[in-house]
Structure 1
Amino acid sequence: MQINRRFIVAIGQVPPPTDGLAYITSEYVKLLAEDHEVKLLNISPKVAKRSLAYHLSRTATVLLASIHLMLNAWRGNRACYMPCQSDFGLVYTIYLLALARLLGYPTYLHHHNFGYINERRRIMAVALRVAGPKVAHIFLCERMLEEFGEAYWKPKRSIVISNAAFVPPPPQGDQPLRSPGQPLKIGLLSNLNREKGLYLFLDLLRATRDHGLNVQGTLAGPLREQDDRSALDVAKEELDGRLSYAGPLYGADKIKYYESIDVFVFPTIYANEAQPTVLYEALAAGNAIIAYERGCIASQVGKHGLIIPQQEPFVPAAVAWLRNLEASRETMASRASIARDMTDIHIAEKAKARRAVSALLPFS
Structure 2
Amino acid sequence: MNKLPWSWDEAAVKPVAQPDDLELLEPVTGSVFFAVCLPPPVHGQSLVNASVMRAAEEFAGADKVQVFDIGPGKHKSGLKYHLTRIGKVARAGLALSARGVRPGQQFYTVFESGFGIVYNFFIIALARFFGYNIILHHHTSQHTLVRQARFAALQRVAGGSCLNVVLSDEMAENLHFLYPKLRNILVSHNACHIAEADGAGRAVVRPNKLRIGFLSNLCREKGLDIVLDVATKCRERGLELTFVLAGPAAGEEANALLVDGRQRLGDYIEIIGPVRDKAKTNFFESIDVFLFPTRYRYEAQPLVLLEAMSYGLPAVTTNCGYIAELVGRQGAILEPDGNLVESIVDQLDRMVSNRHARFNSEEIKTQFRRLRKAASGELRDLMNALFGVAERPRRDFVV
TM-score of the pair, normalised by structure 1: 0.89
Q: Which residue of 1 aligns with 2:111?
A: 84
In structure 2, how many angstroms separate the alpha carbons of the residues matched to 1:50 and 1:202? 26
User: C-alpha displacement at 1:240, in angstroms?
Assistant: 3.9
Q: Is 1:353 aligned to residue 379 of structure 2?
A: yes
Q: Which residue of 2 aligns with 1:15?
A: 39
Amino acid of the structure 2 residue aligned with 1:113: T
Cα contact 2:202–2:286 (8 A) shared by 1: no
User: C-alpha displacement at 1:238, in angstroms?
Assistant: 2.9
Amino acid of the structure 2 residue aligned with 1:22: S
Unaligned 5+ residue runs, structure 2?
1-23, 392-399
Amino acid of the structure 1 residue aligned with 2:384: S
Cα contact 1:9–1:39 (8 A) shared by 2: yes
In structure 2, how many angstroms separate the alpha carbons of the residues matched to 1:166 and 1:352? 11
Q: Secondary structure at the match of 1:246?
A: strand
Query: Residue 278 of structure 2: which of 233, 252, 255 is its match?
Result: 252
Superposed counterparts of 1:325-344, under 5 Å: 325-344=351-370
Q: Is 1:128 aligned to residue 151 of structure 2?
A: no
Cα contact 2:294–2:317 (8 A) shared by 1: yes
Q: Secondary structure at the match of 1:218?
A: strand
- CA deviations 1:264-301 (Å, max 9, x no partner) are 11111123322211111111222110000111211221
Q: Is 1:300 aligned to residue 326 of structure 2?
A: yes
- CA deviations 1:26-48 (Å, max 9, x no partner) are 00111122222211111123561
Q: Which residue of 1 aligns with 2:289?
A: 263
In structure 2, how many angstroms separate the alpha carbons of the residues matched to 1:315 and 1:42? 39
Superposed counterparts of 1:165-314, under 5 Å: 165-173=192-200, 177-180=204-207, 182-311=208-337, 313-314=339-340
Unaligned 5+ residue runs, structure 1?
none
- Identity percentage of aligned residues: 30
Distance 1:45 1:216, change over 3 A: closer
Distance 1:343 1:174, change over 3 A: farther
User: C-alpha displacement at 1:225, in angstroms?
Assistant: 3.8
Distance 1:170 1:38, change over 3 A: same
Query: Residue 34 of structure 1: which of 31, 46, 58 is its match?
Result: 58
**Which moves more between the two structures, 13-22 or 332-341?**
332-341
Q: Which residue of 2 aligns with 1:2?
A: 25
User: C-alpha displacement at 1:363, in angstroms?
Assistant: 4.3
> How many residues are treated as equivalent by the alignment?
363
- CA deviations 1:94-115 (Å, max 9, x no partner) are 1222222222222210011223
Q: Which residue of 1 aligns with 2:9?
A: none
In structure 2, how many angstroms separate the alpha carbons of the residues matched to 1:49 and 1:268? 19
Q: Secondary structure at the match of 1:173?
A: coil
